[in-house]
Amino acid sequence: MTAPLGLLDTDSLLNAEDRAIRDTVRRWVDDRARPHLAQWYEAATVPAREVSRELGELGLLGMHLTGYGCAGTSATAYGLACMELEAGDSGLRSLVSVQGSLAMYAIWKSGSEEQKQEWLPRMATGEAIGCFGLTEPDFGSNPGGMRTRARRDGADWILNGNKMWITNGSVADVAVVWARADEDAGGQVRGFVVPTDTPGFSAHEIKQKMSLRASVTAELALDDVRLPADAVLPEAVGLSGPLGCLTEARFGIIFGALGAARDCLETAIAYAAQREIFDKPLGAFQLTQAKLADMGLELGKGMLLALHLARLKEEGRSTPAQVSMGKLNSTREAIAIARECRTILGAAGITLEFPVMRHANNLESVLTYEGTSEVHQLVIGQALTGESAFR
């Protein structure tokens, strides 16, 4: 049997360093995470601190950033790492994405030198965990409507508000929180570096969820959180700050979702080879092969697009609209592949003995977070027509 991505020989498009990083992450997932993923998913828990430290030892946290203990790898290597992590579980990739491409990236891109020195080295090793507080209970796709407010009180800032669906929120040591400053403080959206032991900051873990159960999800509450003047991210003014971080994180999802799809397809191929029905392997039936062929084609096309976007990013030519194309395609095709693979496994596909239903449930979240499919369609539509349909 040929591996799904082997048909297009995508390995030939990778250099030796990128392949080595990919293989290292794959071994870690297989040896350290995969034996526990079904249990973590069923129990809706994950040993986040232990996992973070191990991922830090591998150099995966903020791996695509430079300096401050970060590895400075290529965009392709980062994407491949996300693919292998999500081939294990979307929760693993989410932990790395939020840590490196949201919390760390915000500080690396927009923070002061003092903020970078204080947090980035510890976050790169996994000693400190970060989260990213943008989404609110009533404002997901429209972050500009956020109700979290920041007001000046002398030299200090006072934050009040709530953030929702925050990965790593209840285990984080530091939160990058976005709030709209009062008019007398400029009225712009500003980012703040908030140590989570600051009085008035609290986080409540959300356990009742059917997706991303092997991941920490929380609601943040900010009740008169007093911060010094130097807590603000000096280079982030307006919505471009958080939206730039989201574009960075969406890039990892392009590869990550394909990892979940690949794991589903490999599982279905192996199952179809050994499952006999009507006295021959399930994989010998024309309808089964048609399903597998279509899924292999879409996975291969998605991988080629992901690698192309990685090259553009490495050359400094990537645009948000291109990232939206990748995120939309990968998540849409991945969830379709997961659902089709479930049909090949039949009743066995709904059990935790196999990863397919777990991936399908996780991809329900990946499909909509960091930009729903509809939002990405509008981003692409605006790029094609020059007209904004957001309002």
> In this structure, is residue 15 part of a structural domain?
yes
Taking residues 210-221, report their average pLDDT: 96
Per-residue pLDDT at 370 exceeds 90: no
Residues 210 and 310 in one domain: no
Same structural domain for residues 39 and 138?
no
Q: Is residue 390, in this structure, part of any structural domain at all?
A: no
- Based on the domain organization, do 200 and 291 belong to the same domain? no
Domain count across the chain: 3
What is the reported pLDDT for 313?
A: 97
> Tens of pLDDT along 221-271?
999 999 999 999 999 998 899 989 999 999 999 999 999 999 999 999 999
The per-residue pLDDT for 3 is: 86
Measured in degrees and rounded to the nearest 5, phi and psi for residue 226 equal -95, 125
Backbone φ and ψ for 149, nearest 5 degrees, come out as -120, 150
Q: What percent of the chain has pLDDT over 70?
A: 100
pLDDT at 187: 87
Alpha-carbon distance of 258 to 383, in angstroms, equals 25
Query: Could you say which of 298, 314, 370, 387 is catalytic?
Result: 370
Q: Is the pLDDT of residue 344 over 80?
A: yes
The mean-pLDDT minimum among 22-36, 139-153, 201-215 falls in 139-153
The answer on 188 and 105 residing in a single domain is no
What band does 288 get if pLDDT is binned at 50, 70 and 90? very high
Q: What is the pTM of this model?
A: 0.94
- Residue 203 above 90 pLDDT? yes
- Helix (H), strand (E), coil (C) string for 351-387: CCCCCHHHHHHHHHHHHHCCCCHHHHHHHHHHHHHCC
314 labelled catalytic: no
**Is residue 87 domain-shared with residue 18, that is, in the same domain?**
yes
Range of the domain at 59: 4-129
Which of 350, 307, 352 is CA-nearest to residue 326?
307
Last residue of some domain: 190, 218, 238? Answer: 238
What CATH number does the domain containing 308 carry? 1.20.140.10
pLDDT band at residue 192, thresholds of 50, 70 and 90?
very high
